[in-house]
């Protein structure tokens, strides 16, 4: 076996083991996270969370660890109207087109809300031009 083949084989094996071949920059994540917030469950998380007395997630995110926060997003809060949201998030057309894994989608959503909370994200995130190539829906 030639070295070239060996190297290619190792590279393929490494990428096959990864959850998704597509990687996103911080800017891309923030924009995708914003869209997930706006589109989850039809009208977005804000249908409830932008309305009091429901929890303001930019405050919740200061109190909860990332694990605790995402656990609620995945599993919901049993006995409340906060149902598991991850399945809803994975149904968003944009998430499908970007070939995001659940982990990537939740990570992007978290990064956006964290940014809003600590003030590094102000208002609308502009769509990064670099995303164009990544939204062609050509998933593996």
Q: Which of 13, 67, 80, 132 binds ligand HEC (CB under 6 A)?
A: 80
Residues 106-125 that bind ligand HEC (CB under 6 A): 109
Q: Please report whether residue 65 would count as binding ligand HEC according to CB under 6 A.
A: no
Go through the chain and tell me how many residues it has.
140
- Residue 33 near residue 109, CB atoms below 8 Å: yes
Residues 2-61 that bind ligand HEC (CB under 6 A): 40-41, 45, 47-49, 54-55, 57, 60
Residue 122 is encoded by which pair of tokens?
């102000």
Supply the minimum distance, in Å, between the C-beta of residue 135 and ligand HEC: 20
User: In angstroms, rounded to a whole number, what is the distance separating the alpha carbons of residues 59 and 117?
Assistant: 7
């Amino acid at each position: 076996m030639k070295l070239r083949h060996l190297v290619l084989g190792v590279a393929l094996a490494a990428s096959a083991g990864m959850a998704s071949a597509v990687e996103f920059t911080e800017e891309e994540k923030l924009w995708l996270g914003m869209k997930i917030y706006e589109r989850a469950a039809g009208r977005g998380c804000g249908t409830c969370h932008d309305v009091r007395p429901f929890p303001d997630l930019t405050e919740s995110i200061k109190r909860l660890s990332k694990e605790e926060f995402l656990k609620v997003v995945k599993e919901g809060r049993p006995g409340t109207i906060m149902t598991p949201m991850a399945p809803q998030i994975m149904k968003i057309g944009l998430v499908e087109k970007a070939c995001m894994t659940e982990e990537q989608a939740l990570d992007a959503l978290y990064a956006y809300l964290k940014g809003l909370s600590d003030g590094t994200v102000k208002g609308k995130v502009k769509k990064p031009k670099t995303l164009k190539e990544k939204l062609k829906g050509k998933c593996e």
